[in-house]
Amino acid sequence: MKISEAYLLFGFKDYSGFYKAFRKEYGMSPKEWQETVMNIPEF
């Protein structure tokens, strides 16, 4: 799933609102978060 489509799953009416809420909550953009998660090494 594309990040730009995830906002629909969380009840946001547009990506802009989702982006602002995500950045406020996590201190990074959804794309930055995805890149961080994808770079976590497995045990």
24 lies in a domain? yes
pLDDT at 4: 77
7-39 pLDDT tens trace: 999 999 999 999 999 999 999 999 999 888 887
| Domain residue limits at 27 | 3-38
The tokens describing 11, both together, are 């009840």
Domains of the chain: total:
1
pLDDT at 42: 65
The tokens describing 30, both together, are 């959804």
Q: What does the alpha-carbon distance between residue 31 and residue 12 come to, in Å, rounded to a whole number?
A: 17
43 lies in a domain? no
Q: Are 33 and 40 in contact (CB under 8 A)?
A: no
